[in-house]
Each structure stands twice: as structure tokens, then as C-alpha cells.
Amino acid sequence: MSVLIKGGTVVNAELSLRADVICDGGLITAVGADLDAPSDATVIDAGGQYVMPGGIDPHTHMQLPFMGTVASEDFETGTTAGLAGGTTMIIDFVIPGPQQNIMEAYKQWREWAEKSVSDYSFHVAITWWDDSVHDDMGTLVRDHGVNSFKHFMAYKGAIMADDEILVNSFARSLELGAIPTVHAENGELVFRLQKELFEKGITGPEGHPLSRPPECEGEAANRAIRIAEVLKVPLYVVHNSCRQSLEAITRARNEGQRVFGEVLAGHLLIDDSIYRHKDFEVAAAHVMSPPFRSSEHQDALWKGLQSGNLQTTATDHCCFCADQKAAGKDDFRLIPNGTGGVENRMEVLWHHGVSTGKLTMNEFVKVTSTNAAQIFNVYPRKGSIAVGADADIVVWDPQATKTISTKTDHQNVDYNIFEGMEVTGCPSYTISQGKVVYADGELNVERGAGRYVDRPPFAPFYDALKKQAQLAEPVAVKR
């Protein structure tokens, strides 16, 4: 079955042009003026609309077992919600428990993800260290299409990676041609601040941001960046929420270091006053880490995106319903951390980014799709409208409006952090693997249609980095 998208403007990261697009056999087979439809083709009239690469959300946690419960959104419902919002690929995380065999965890997550309706891939978290972890990292890169490893610098006593783990895993990543990524928060400081606040009687959600100040994030981001600098390995810092971590990234990039930064739609648009909301349910629904920050930080993050010092946007989609959040009713430290957004990332970024003149349409494509595809090495298969690329496409109606609400969204969670937000600019069609899976508000998805996407290592570039690392051996001292 083929699809002809007719009369639209194709918007790629590097250029926009009036062109029709034909999809056949899951791939884009033609891009050009006045293309004729094959006789069996479904024809989409994209007049007055933009035809863009489907979004890639490089940071989600579907059905994550976390803080004594399991995220409510699974791989089927989560990827369905993504498609309704124009996101055609997610990169989720395998997170082994402390001492859990890495390959066993990887297989478990692969099994859970088989029901996905759109394509997906996995970063793998390194939560502990021994020779088996070292070897399993090699197996994952060589045989299983993994080219990125995640390190949580927070969550002491659970999945936190200390400096020893960071150093071992970053060095191993360089050897393998993989990119380390970090959740940057100083877990020791967070642990101490949480305890102090609780002992002072601050037990509600307002304690959450107080226990995780921006300085904790800035310190951890800078530490990870400097470790990566010494080891000569590129680094990706996930969900930057504050000026301090952005400054650490910007400084390093200005010094020529290969560091990438991600920002979440929520951190760009929601401020920390929400944690002081009178209703526990509302405040708790926003508990995620790092927390939402004051508007000073949002301004800085937008500038980071505009300047190119932050390259990707994500959601950290990790949903917990009110009954799950209630576990922390009397102790904010027990509120499961996580918020949703996979369905709304593209539209809130368009509305607040493109419509306000902060981002061009091409920059929008870069930060919602192309940059993630390039950084995680699946470009141009993903992240571009080009002959031979996967036919993962969103047709974008810049005039369409909607009010975001949990009553109408497809996310499997009872609270939408963008509740009530009015946006102009929404997907009218989403095409995944060449099939129309979302059209004018109707979904037509198939459980299990999503494919695991292999991401190869970064071999030639890393060879040069490895040579540099070897050159940096100590010079003998003559006495």
C-alpha cells in the first residue's frame, strides 16, 4: 500500500520546499513536484500544511518499575499517544536494578516493548559495575544495536552511579564507540537535603524542589562533563532544567568539547509555583526530577535551544496516576517521580516556539527530530524527509487549534501537565512505516507494529578520539 502526500511544503532541518511525497513499502520513495499517485495510493491533501519528519522523543520511560510502583503508560498506550501527537519514534531506557544482570534487564525491556505501535530503541542504564557489566556493554553495542548508556547521578541507595561507575562506564563507552548520557543531579546532596527538610516538618510536595536545587544539577552536569573531557568521550546530558547545567554545557562546547544537551517540554513551560498548589494531587502530579524551576530558568533554556547549545527536546514521559502519587501523601520523598507529555511535545513546542518566533520551522524539525536522529546515529533513516528514509512523517496543520486536556488526550494517566493549554498548530496526519496511523483525530494503530531500531556505534569518529586519549599518556620525568 502506498501513500501520496500532495500539495504540502516539505520542511526538513536544512530546507523547506513545495513538494509531494510518495511512501511505499514503509519507505519514502519519491519527493518532488507534481508527483502522480500510484493507482492503489491513499492520497492526503496537504495543501496549506507542512510535511515534516515524524518526531523522535529520545527520553521516555514506558511501564518503568520505579519507586515501588510501575509507570501507568505501557509501550502500546505510550507509543499510541506519541503517534496522536506526531511522534513516530521513542528512545526508552533499560534500567537494570542494582546488581541485576544487564543482558537479563535488556531482554526484559525488549519483551515489554514488543507491543509498541511505533518504532522504538533503547538506551541502557549502567547502575553498578563489575567485569560482567564491562563485557555486557560490548555485547550490547556489537550485537544489539545499542550505542548509548545512561547514568543516574541521583537516586542514592537505588540506581545512582557514583564517580567510579561513571569513570569506568565512560571509558568503556569510548572503547565501544557509544555515547554516555547522564541524569545530572548530585545524589548525595539531594539525599541530605531531603532528610533535613523532612526533619524540619516540610513533608508535602513543596519540599521536592527545595531538596533538588539548581546548584545540585549544575554541579553534577559539570562533574560529568569534566570526567568526559578527561576521558575524551562525547557526552549527552538529559533533561537540563536550569541555567546552571546549561552554563556548564555552553562553557564546555565553547571550549570545543563534544557535549550535547536535552531539554524537556515541561521544563520550558511549567514553573515551580505548582509545587505549592493547595491540592496535594495537583502538586504531586508535577513531581518529577529534576523539578520544574522558576521562570528565570525557563528563559535560559529557551535561549539554550535558540543558540543551539541545547539540541534536543524530550518529555521524560513517565506516568503515575493519583493513586500511585498518593504513596507520598505524608512524605514527599515517596511520591513516584515522573510526568507525561509524549503526546503534546510537538504541539506545545510549535505553539510556544515557532508561533512566538523563537524557533524557525526548520529549527523545530531539528530539535524535535533530526538532531536526536543524528546524535543517536539513526540519521537519515529517521529525522529526514528524503528518498530511502523510513516513511515516518507528520503532516502539520499550522491553523488547527486545540485545548490540551486529560479528557481528550490518549495518554494513560489521569493528569496532563499541560491541562488547559490552548495551542495552535497540530498534526493532521501521522504516518508510521508508510501507513496512515492518525488522520483528523482518528487513530488506526496496530499492536506490535513497532520495530526495534538498531543504532550502530560511531566508529570512524571515535577512532580519532581514541588516538587522542592514547596520546595523553604521562610523560616520564627525568631525575
By CB under 5 A, name the binding residues for Zn ion: 183, 316
Place of cell 510526568: 339
338 contacts ligand DUC (rule: CB under 6 A): yes
Binding-site partner at residue 232 among ligand DUC, Zn ion, none, CB < 5 to 8 Å by type: none
Closest to ligand DUC by CB, 21 vs 95, is 95
DSSP H/E element including 237: strand 235-237
Look at the chain and count its residues: 479
Those residues with Cβ within 8 angstroms of residue 178's Cβ, 6 or more apart along the chain or in another chain:
137, 141, 146, 147, 148, 149, 457, 458
For residue 317, the minimal CB distance to Zn ion (Å) is 9
- Closer to Zn ion at the Cβ: 74 or 316? 316
> What is the longest distance spanned by two Cα atoms in the chain?
84
State the Cα–Cα distance between residues 79 and 448, nearest whole angstrom: 10
Q: Is 337 in the site for ligand DUC (CB under 6 A)?
A: yes
**What values do phi and psi take at 375, rounded to 5?**
-65, -35
Burial of residue 112 (CB within 10 Å: 0-12, 13-18, 19+) is: middle
Q: Which does 351 bind (CB under 5 to 8 A by kind): Zn ion, ligand DUC, none?
A: none
Q: Choosing among Zn ion, ligand DUC, none, which partner's interface includes residue 338 (Cβ < 5 to 8 Å by kind)?
A: ligand DUC
Using CB under 6 A as the criterion, what x/- string covers residues 259-288 for binding ligand DUC? -----------------------------x
By a kind-dependent CB cut-off of 5 to 8 A, residue 337 interacts, out of ligand DUC, Zn ion, none, with: ligand DUC
Rounded CA separation 417/236 (Å):
25
Measured between alpha carbons, how far is residue 471 from residues 232, 466, 475, 477 in Å? 11, 9, 10, 16
Shortest distance (Å) from residue 289 CB to ligand DUC: 4
Q: Which is nearer to ligand DUC, 285 or 318 (CB)?
A: 318
Site for ligand DUC contains 61 (CB under 6 A) = yes
> Alpha carbon of 170 to those of 183, 328, 393, 416, 456: distances in Å?
14, 35, 34, 36, 17
Please, what is the minimum distance in Å from the beta carbon of residue 72 to ligand DUC? 13
Q: How far is the CB of 411 from Zn ion (least distance, A)?
A: 16
Q: How far is the CB of 67 from ligand DUC (least distance, A)?
A: 8
Selection from 367, 268, 254 nearest residue 310 by Cα: 367
Q: How far is the CB of 105 from ligand DUC (least distance, A)?
A: 15
Rounded distance between C-alpha atoms, residue 401 and residue 455, angstroms: 36
Name the residue nearer to ligand DUC (CB basis): 112 or 443: 112
Query: According to the binding rule CB under 6 A, does residue 3 interact with ligand DUC?
Result: no
d(CA 312, CA 325): 28
Q: Residue 183 or residue 243: which is nearer to ligand DUC going by CB? A: 183
Q: Which is nearer to ligand DUC, 2 or 289 (CB)?
A: 289
Q: Smallest gap, in angstroms, from Cβ of residue 226 to ligand DUC?
A: 22
Measured from each CB, the residue nearest to ligand DUC is 288
Angle at 248 between CA 309 and CA 195, to 5 degrees: 125
Q: Which lies closer to Zn ion via its Cβ, residue 6 or residue 183? A: 183
Grid cell listed for 243: 541555567
Q: Quickly tell me which residue has 499517485 as its cell.
A: 37
Cis bond leading into 53, ω under 30°? no
Among candidate residues 157, 156, 100, 91, the one with its CA nearest the CA of residue 126: 100
Exposure string for 274-307, b = 16+ CB within 10 A, e = fewer: bbebeebbebbbbbbbbbbbeeebbebbbebbee
Q: Is 183 in the site for ligand DUC (CB under 6 A)?
A: yes
Quote the least distance from Cβ 338 to ligand DUC, whole Å: 4
**Nearer CB in complex with Zn ion: 16/69:** 69
Q: Please identify, using beta-carbon distances, which residue of 70 and 443 lies nearer to ligand DUC.
A: 70
Q: Applying CB under 6 A, what is the total number of residues that bind ligand DUC?
A: 9
**Least Å distance between CB 325 and ligand DUC?**
12
- CB 316 → ligand DUC: shortest distance, Å? 6
- Of 95 and 284, CB closest to Zn ion: 95
**Rounded Cα–Cα distance for residues 81 and 249 (Å):** 32
Site for ligand DUC in 292-321 (CB under 6 A): 316, 318
Say which entry of ligand DUC, Zn ion, none residue 8 contacts (CB below 5 to 8 A, set by partner kind).
Answer: none
Binding site for ligand DUC (CB under 6 A): 61, 66, 183, 288-289, 316, 318, 337-338
